[in-house]
Chains A and B, each alone.
Chain A
Amino acid sequence: MIVRLRRSQAMVCIVLMACLTTSCMRNVSANPPQETSLQKISNALNSTTKSMTLIQTTVANANATTPPLIPTGTARSIMDLSLRFDKTIGEAITAGQKIAKLNTSTGSQLTVIIAPMVTAIDNAVKDPAILGIQDVKTRDTIRTTLVAIQTSLSTVQLIIATNK
């Protein structure tokens, strides 16, 4: 009697799990993960933060050598610039987290934040503090990374523009 009861309980459990699985699979396949415009923007912002990590690490390491490959004054200018940039990226990320779908309104919200970032990076690429870095390897790493950020931000702007 007890064995029969346990068997029925197990069968009920299996049937419930099977129903749940079928239901879940149907829901997930109805909304499959896809590379949406929002995903592309998220990837670009993620890539930008990683580029900033590289710039900051490069600057700090180049300043820590003996003699320093970048003088402290120059390193401080670049680090200060990068900190201001980090804070703006933070705003863009926070805005992105609140957006569920990219449309004209949400695209405009992102544009307001991203436009000054583009200007800041355009200026940074031409910044005398960066152009004046004597160590070629350090200068090239920073400039190449800044160009990578420029590309990421241009991608974001293009995605927003084509979604309007």
Chain B
Amino acid sequence: MDPLTAILGAVTVFNQAAPALTGLILSFRHEDGTVAPLITLDEAQKTNDENIAFATKWLEEHKDA
């Protein structure tokens, strides 16, 4: 096996392992092994923070109207 083939092989294996590695790292965030709840909640928090900022700004702009 020439070095180039060996490197390509290693890269291919790494690419295949990447999603599993990502899943494993994310699963550390919840004891029961679920991955998605915190991701969903992070998204909810971001939307909620934007909603609070929007409503606060709107109320400030219309407080004397």
- Which residues of chain B have C-beta atoms less than 8 A from A60's C-beta? 54, 58
B contact set with A: CB distance below 8 Å: 1, 3, 6-7, 9-10, 13-14, 16-17, 20-21, 23-24, 27, 30-38, 40-45, 47-52, 54-56, 58-59, 62, 65
Q: Secondary structure of the B side of the interface?
A: helix
Given the complex, which residues of B lie within 8 Å of A7, measured CB to CB?
1, 3, 6
A1-17 to B contact mask, C-beta < 8 Å, 1/0 = 00100110011011001
CB distance from A65 to the nearest CB of B (A): 14
- Is chain A's interface secondary structure helix, strand, loop, or mixed overall? helix
Flag if B51 contacts A82 (CB, 8 Å).
yes
Q: Given A17-B14, A36-B32 in contact, is the A90-B3 Cβ separation under 8 Å?
A: no
A42 to B43, CA, bound (A): 10
Chain B residues in 8 Å Cβ range of A36: 32, 34, 37
Distance of A97 Cα from B36 Cα, bound (Å) = 11
> CB < 8 Å: which of A14, A39, A79 contacts B37?
A39
Knowing A17-B10, A31-B27, A72-B62 are in contact, say whether A90-B55 is a contact too (CB < 8 A): no
**A86 B10 Cβ-Cβ under 8 A:** no
